[in-house]
Chain A
């Protein structure tokens, strides 16, 4: 007996009679086919993709705001809002011309001044934006459709900066909104992307709704990640926030949702058994674990103590703790860059390969002067990836003779504590764990964690001039061969000095109902070309 039969028969009759009859369904069948119900990876708690750089905000923002350029599936930036660009012979002046007919969701045309102000706001918050701002002479609108960016020296990675997919992206907003302080949140969500944000239906923590923007003009090329024609085949997308994976799994099996962005590995076998559900790798660029050491304080202010961990670390143990027994979900990573991408290298990675040397690690640790002092390991228990890494690392460090002070806490506390530079005994830390989207680790542009510029580096504050030299070399590289050479040297320098410990590379699944078509693998969920029967 199904629900409808139950309702029609006596069991449901009493309740229905008492309620005054069965209400009409909220959506007719046709409307339901045009509404895609999607469970995102996290709650859309705010909606300013420049102010808040969480991945979930970037993913939603890609529906609402368009970008000047967008990377395609080969990680090459392609024109998106831009019709053409010119760069001067000396490489210092870029002139961009917008496509005709672009409109914001409030009906106003997209003008060059909107782009200028949006880029100014973005440049305060993005690492590449900050680099461009540092060499900026001027950025001005020439006319309604053209603007010029004049620099004091060439910046070969300009198009990548404008089209990259790691947050914050160069989302274009109306000038009046883009004038908002980059460290304050915007309060209007007007973009020129293929979907409009339905603000009055937004219930943070529960639901976000997007409706098709009728005046959107897609490019003529086929869609490829953030590039090409973003053709919307559904009229409405409802993001339903489900904090409980078991509930999301049941809802997908029951047809109450259409697409679940990141099912946990434990539930995938259940989903695979359902013939109405498709399961596949969501993002081929995956994720890279991060075992972060504090370079400011003993014992990890000594490179020998840091290298001792690399000698002993077994990436398989870390990865199995994260993804379970599914071998298709992880790869060893003797380096820092995303496997399968053009700049991937294993240069200098021998220390992470082969049989693990626990005794050698103990000796190296002793040489570093470590004498059993407590090592404060901050482990966020509410994030499965950090918890798994912390549990394995705890055992590993004990095996090589370290005295671990295991601090089990939540992600909010980790976020605060990792920013403290004080010694561990005074509230600071020695180790914490995180992970980075593989899309951010394809090159140094948005890879904050690989930087080793001391006080300005990411948490742990590594100070390795050799790494920074190679980062600069990559930014200045004129072709792929030069880029590859710079990244190989960078990878070696970063491993020799252990900027951080890479515990491995892992992937996650995505799952959808079989009546949904057009889902592509990528670093974020792309909704263009997705249809529902």
Chain B
């Protein structure tokens, strides 16, 4: 197992190298000019050109790429063109809100979606099943920002229970931290809840048809024991896979959610960097997201061995 883990971690290196080359090339050919944004709208073309030169943006592709790769191998993601701050510092400033949002969303989504999926499968064909599936369709169909605005209107503006926006670091207390995350986590989690609930239902329906479930029921086991100890455990592999895949959904959704709820996280940093063509920041963030995604996949693979002892690496 340890050898497998080490091999998988080492395998991330070529993956990251391909991502790095791809991202750098894409940004190089993409239109847009950070120098023009820095100089401001009133700047003359000469000013823009001087700033471009001072930023080294007039140099050839290979030189710029080589310098960036050399920085990366020294664990230096470079310096933001706009703020003059190290990219690692910008990421460090923003990672806690995004991580908090994703973790809270994940906990809320799994806690709600898995029981919903199990219930829908157990009551397949009934009004309960149809209601849950209708909710799942709603979760898939309604954009994050619409859910966000509705939640903010009801729970912040009308009821005054929760804040509209912002983020409080966890160091200032659990409740202040949590109250800023409730609405964004629910908004972001809607599509995730829908996805997990549907997959759980589908997998559970298949498992519930198996002979061993019939045997378990024939032995006189309670419905709860059949559903959660026998059926859900055997349905777990696809559900865990979907939860893993869903992390990518969360990363994408965080961009919108962080904007709607003014959370200073990595999603907003990404959007700002793209709009301003802050190349070092974009490159650093894409590398980080790729790395996280690779790690999540590794974690999912390892969890398989826990829920299904037949799987061995």
Contact = CB atoms under 8 A, between A and B. Distances in A.
Contacts of B159: 1-3, 6
A518 B165 CA distance: 26
Interface string B149-162: 10011001101111
A243 B277 contact: no
Interface string B33-48: 1101111111111111
A183 B275 CA distance: 22
B175 A16 contact: yes
Contacts of B156: 250, 254
Contacts of A459: 45
Where chain B touches its partner, the secondary structure class is: helix
Given A409-B31, A411-B275, A250 B165 contact: yes
Contact of A53 (B31, B42, B50, B277): B42
A92 to B, nearest CB: 27
A446 B42 contact: yes
A187 B272 contact: no
B94 A54 contact: no
Contacts of A436: 41-42
B90 A204 contact: yes
Interface in A109-151: 125
Contacts of A183: 50-51, 53-54
A167 B276 CA distance: 20
A247 interface: yes
B38 A51 contact: yes
* A241, A250, A456: most-surrounded residue (chain B CB, <10 A): A250
A451 to B, nearest CB: 9
Nearest to B30: A413
Interface stretch (B213-221, B255-263, B292-300): B255-263
A233 B169 CA distance: 28
Interface stretch (B3-11, B15-23, B77-85): B77-85
A254 B80 CA distance: 34
A251 B262 contact: yes
Contacts of A415: 32-33, 36-37, 48
Interface residues of B, number: 62
Contacts of A479: none
Interface string B116-146: 0000000000000000000000000000000
Q: How large is the interface on A (under 10, 10 to 19, 20 to 34, 35 or more residues)?
A: 35 or more
B44 A242 contact: no
Contacts of B43: 53, 448
Contacts of A250: 152-153, 156-157, 164-165
A138 B41 CA distance: 31
A158 interface: no
B268 interface: yes
B178 A15 contact: yes
A23 interface: yes
Nearest to A434: B41
Given A53-B42, A53-B43, A204-B85, A247 B160 contact: no
B32 A256 contact: no
A247 B33 contact: no
B66 interface: no
A55 B262 CA distance: 22
Interface in A29-68: 43, 45-46, 48, 51-55
Nearest to A252: B164
Nearest to A206: B264
A203 interface: yes
B168 interface: yes
Nearest to A39: B262
Given A46-B82, A250-B157, A242 B42 contact: no
Contacts of A24: 173
Contacts of B40: 52-55, 167
Interface string A226-246: 000000000000001111101
Contacts of A53: 39-40, 42-43
B174 A244 contact: no
A247 B152 CA distance: 9
A166 B42 contact: yes
A419 B33 contact: yes
A2 B157 CA distance: 10
B31 A240 contact: no
Contacts of B175: 7, 15-16, 19, 21-23
Contacts of A256: 163-166
Contacts of A242: 165, 262
A9 to B, nearest CB: 11
A269 interface: no
B176 interface: yes
A206 B270 CA distance: 12
Contacts of A246: 149, 260
Contacts of A456: 44, 46
Contacts of B47: 125
A206 B32 contact: no
Given A3-B160, A204-B82, A243 B268 contact: yes
A345 B119 CA distance: 75
A3 B180 CA distance: 13
A416 B260 contact: no
Given A3-B161, A247-B261, A419-B45, A26 B54 contact: no
B83 A45 contact: yes
B48 A419 contact: yes
Given A15-B175, A26-B168, A419-B33, A254 B39 contact: no
A316 interface: no
A19 B33 contact: no
B74 interface: no
A254 B161 contact: no
A505 to B, nearest CB: 17
A203 B275 contact: no
B172 to A, nearest CB: 6
Nearest to A130: B44
B269 interface: yes
A149 B261 CA distance: 51
Given A247-B165, A419-B36, A412 B93 contact: no
Contacts of B45: 419, 459
Contacts of A155: none
Contacts of B39: 52-53
Given A3-B160, A18-B174, A45-B82, 7 more contacts: A19-B175, A23-B172, A45-B272, A53-B43, A243-B268, A411-B275, A446-B42
Q: When A and B form their complex, which 8 residue pairs have the shortest distance between CB atoms, in order from nearest?
A: A23-B173, A206-B264, A415-B36, A416-B33, A19-B174, A53-B40, A412-B32, A413-B31
26 contacts: A2-B159, A6-B159, A7-B175, A18-B174, A20-B174, A46-B84, A51-B38, A52-B82, A54-B41, A125-B47, A166-B42, A184-B54, A204-B82, A204-B83, A204-B85, A204-B90, A243-B271, A244-B260, A247-B260, A253-B157, A412-B275, A412-B277, A416-B31, A418-B36, A458-B42, A458-B44
